């Protein structure tokens, strides 16, 4: 919260008339997600843009408060649940948008329906790629369900960005990252495509689409599999014990 509040103060200082509030949210805890959503409903009259940007990457095996594998639980299920809880406000505020920040790592991903918990065979890179593929598939399936409600949705590859997301990286991956650090984007540059999907007129975007470098791009073949997207949707609803038609 201290970092978030400092960031809010920095923005307010730099942007005249900006109103920025930092709120606590732990995507590894469904109770925290519920409390956050309740706070939003109690304090905000409208929600036009929901940017699902939080994440953990390539961490050692651990579980969320609710027992989900950490990367799948935070990167996918946490955002899925948060979006579900805020959907009424998004619909009320239509036209509105949901932007899910994925990664080029989704191209290495496969949804392991027989081992979503990672208990049988956990590999940190494979688990991360799976969670990023889930972002793309969630976007694709949600678009079909919410476009008629005035809520559009997009997935984004921000590129390789120099942030603390890499804090769990170990050698040799860490050595590769250090060698090519000069190629990494700054956090500001990493936000460009997310901002592009936020401010570009809706008729110039494709709901359900995947974007990188401020343009529509082609996701992996797995990221275009509507059958897997529908199955992931159903499994996610079952895991979270929600009904999202």
Q: Which of 226, 223, 228 is nearest to 212 (CA)?
A: 223
Alpha helices in the chain (DSSP H): 2-14, 30-43, 70-71, 79-92, 124-146, 173-179, 187-190, 192-199, 226-240
Strand 96-101 vs strand 151-157: parallel, antiparallel, or unpaired?
parallel
Two tokens, residue 76: 């996918």
Please say if 210 is a catalytic residue: no
Rounded Cα distance, 69 and 62, in Å: 6
Of the candidates 68, 128, 154, 211, the residue annotated as catalytic is 128
Rounded Cα distance, 219 and 212, in Å: 10
Rounded Cα distance, 20 and 91, in Å: 23
Q: Is 17 helix (H, G, I), strand (E, B) or coil?
A: coil
Does residue 150 come out as left (phi exceeding 0), alpha (psi in the -120 to 50 range) or beta? Answer: left
Catalytic residues: 128
């Amino acid at each position: 919260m201290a970092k978030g509040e400092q960031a809010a103060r920095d923005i307010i200082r730099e942007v005249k008339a900006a109103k920025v509030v930092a709120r606590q949210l732990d995507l590894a805890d469904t109770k925290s997600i519920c409390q956050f959503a309740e706070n939003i409903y109690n304090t905000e009259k409208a929600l036009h843009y929901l940017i699902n940007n939080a994440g953990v990457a390539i961490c050692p095996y651990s579980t969320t408060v609710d027992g989900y594998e950490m990367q799948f639980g935070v990167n996918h299920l946490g955002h899925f649940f948060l979006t579900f809880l805020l959907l009424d406000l998004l619909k009320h505020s239509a036209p509105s948008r949901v932007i899910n920040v994925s990664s080029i790592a989704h191209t290495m991903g496969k949804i392991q329906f027989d081992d979503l918990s990672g208990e049988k065979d956990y590999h940190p890179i494979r688990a991360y790629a799976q969670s990023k593929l889930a972002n793309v598939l969630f976007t694709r399936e949600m678009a079909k369900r919410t476009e008629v409600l005035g809520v559009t949705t997009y997935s984004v590859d921000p590129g390789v960005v120099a942030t603390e997301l890499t804090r769990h990286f170990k050698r040799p991956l860490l050595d590769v990252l250090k060698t090519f650090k000069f190629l990494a984007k700054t956090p500001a540059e990493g936000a460009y495509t997310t901002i592009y999907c936020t401010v570009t007129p809706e008729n110039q975007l494709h709901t359900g689409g995947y974007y990188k470098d401020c343009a529509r791009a082609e996701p992996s073949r797995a990221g275009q599999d509507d059958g897997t997207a529908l199955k992931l949707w159903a499994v996610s609803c079952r895991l979270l014990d929600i009904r999202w038609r």
